[in-house]
Structure 1
Amino acid sequence: MLTDPNFYAVAIPAVALVGLSKGGLGGAFALIGVPLLAFAVPPMQAAAIFLPILLVMDAVALWAWRHHNNRATLVAMLPGAVIGIGLGWATSTYVSADAMRLVLGGISIVFSLKYFLESWAAYKGQETAPAAQRPVAGSFWGSLAGYASFVAHAGGPPFQIYVLPLKLDPLTYTGTSTRFFAILNAIKVIPYFALGELDATNLSLSAALLPIALVSTLAGARLVHYLRPAIFYPLMYGMVLIAGSKLTWDGTRGLFGI
């Protein structure tokens, strides 16, 4: 497979999309990456190939966003996220990833549509104030992010559902998101090794795709610096809507054989 051009025809754009997402251009690109790679290899193998690549992307993104963070958000969400990863590992043979995709997709669509309705109300002079930090809500959405990240590589929408209403400035939002998912991906190495998915074949494929990952992550980080909040937030919520639609379609197709 290391010399199969058909594999790279799918894998290169998949990794590039995830790299742009890791750089700061939104979770929808990341959600597209693994399903796209799954056209060339089985879904679980696609997820395993991506995990080492994600770790390298995380290292690049952490350096790029090292000056931007919102500690209160991480404190609110990370304990729940760790529990969510543990639950994903413990129940991976019992809970359908397609069911999780369907639930998260529906929530994400409603959440993004709510934002656009509120934006229309703000346009009419009824602007919504930034939300406050809420530890209980943070733990809940953090646990969903951790669980979905493990079972379906779909932790972005739950994270965004909690964080976007805080209305952080774009740089702080991206730096916080980078730290959150870097921590989650590092933790996920343990259960992936335990499941036997990080074998020599998958690690070799990951290494072959690393240059694409590095270039695309830096490109995404560079582009975000030029986005003003008035552009950034509609773009992010639009990404949530796209991601939610993709998750809903994938979950429906997987559960009902459409």
Structure 2
Amino acid sequence: MRQGWHKFLDLFSRGARPALPSIPSSLKGTRFRVKFLEKLSGRAKRIAGISAGVVASAWFVAGAVSVGLAPFLPEAKPPKAAAPSSRGKTLATYDRIIARNLFNERGLIPDVDDINSGFRGPPVRTSLPLQLTGVILVSDELKSVASIEDKSRNQVIAVRVNDPIKPEVIVQKIEADKVIFINHQSGRREYVDLPKDVYSLSVRKGTGPAPSAGAGIQAASETHYLIDRTEVDKSLANLNEIL
């Protein structure tokens, strides 16, 4: 043993390298595989890094392009609502609507006095195309009758208290020489009166006995009379005295 050691030192001092023990072949294959795996792992890392960079660059470029082209792109149209289907509907479907009173669901009809209670100012002469042609005044004001000509319709109508002359014109009071009514369109009380040449005689309420037959009336029988035309015209010109 000592001789072998001295021999090794003698060779080393002379500059000769001693022969190292050889590496087994099994160890050589293992080292090669380790180096190969290290190189493969490095390449995989480089490829992954390059791929990540490409993806990030593509995402950035796509965002920049979309922002730049946004003003030039047409606006998307809102989706059209589906038309309601009318199948299966009959007239009976709308019975509930027809049965309802959209303007007065409770079905209450106010009294005429309540409607006219808000009009208490003094009446003014109307500007409507109306003319009072005659008045029949009796003790009961509700039974008095006035004859009014509506020149806009060229029509003469007979009205009592609370009767409409027009849909928006309601009679409130009938006097001897005028008719007072409420004009809901103007929101005030108005009146129409008799012309002065017509209202020249005194007016009295018809509470007395009927006037006697004039000279122009002759009895032809118990149920038939002959009346002169002049007497008829005279009586019609003064109806208040007949009553």
Normalised-by-shorter TM-score class: under 0.3
TM-score (norm 1): 0.18
Q: Which has the larger radius of gyration?
A: 2
Q: Where is the helix percentage greater, Structure 1 or Structure 2?
A: 1
TM-score (norm 2): 0.19
> Highest relative contact order (Cα 8 Å, sep 6+), 1 or 2?
1
Q: Where is the strand percentage greater, Structure 1 or Structure 2?
A: 2
